[in-house]
Amino acid sequence: MKKLLPILSIIFIASACSTNNDSHANEKTATQYSTDSIKQKFNSLRFDYNRADSKFKFIDISTIDSTNEFNFDKPDRALLLSEKEYYEALQDSNLEYYDADMNNAFFYSKQSDYKNFKRYIFATIDENIGYNYIYNIYDTSGKKTSSFAYKGFGGDGGWWYHLNTKKENDNTFIQTNIDCEGSIDSSGNNVSVCDSIITKYMIKNDGSLQEISLGKFTLTR
């Protein structure tokens, strides 16, 4: 009987390892399936722009400034997208959960069509990042073909950003994104390292975006 014990122990350990490996494999498969399902779900979403057209506050905004910027401190709740509208309009599998106060979007501006593509700007709140104006382009079925941030600001801790876009013509935009990281040097002074990133976006004939880097400049202060 004593001779059998080591053998039984080996069999038990091998069985346990096999069970653990199967468990990890199943967990990985389940996670992958979940991720694929989410992507598939978002790929099937469509924005019903015919119903939404009348909900936007502005029409064909080119510059967002103090005369027309969205009041994120006291948002107009009449412009708030419902949870269903939020996912259908933004069509982004990286979105945080919808929350009517902390993670949401508002109907900001209905833009003019470009060829056969619909264009809209949504004012969005993301509790982990900040406040952004998202410029979305859709085909006639309501599927989003491309997207970029038109304006935004926010940050967390020692990091912050400020982003703005200038419209050059009907399908060309110049975006400037200032991204800063703050720290304290060896002398106890506050130091900020800021990258200024300039990007040109051009809407192509298929509704996608051509992204051209125009430069990156770093400033330490």
The Cα-based distances of 164 to 12, 71, 74, 84, 128 in angstroms read: 63, 17, 22, 28, 19
Structure tokens at 44: 């099937």
pLDDT confidence band for 44 (50 / 70 / 90): confident
What is the model's pLDDT at position 37? 58
Tell me the per-residue pLDDT of 150-167, one tens digit each, with 9 for 90 and over: 999 999 888 999 999 999
Q: Is 34 exposed, middle or buried (0-12, 13-18, 19+ CB in 10 A)?
A: exposed
Q: Report the predicted TM-score, pTM, of the whole model to 2 decimal places.
A: 0.80
* DSSP string for residues in 98-150: PBTTTEEEEEEEEEEEETTEEEEEEEEEETTTEEEEEEEEE-TTS-EEEEEEE
pLDDT above 80: residue 2: no
What is the model's pLDDT at position 39? 57
pLDDT confidence band for 183 (50 / 70 / 90): confident
What is the model's pLDDT at position 132? 97
Tell me the per-residue pLDDT of 18-36, one tens digit each, with 9 for 90 and over: 444 444 444 434 333 344 5
What is the model's pLDDT at position 218? 95
Give the contacts of 213 (CB within 8 A, at least 6 positions apart): 197, 198, 199, 200
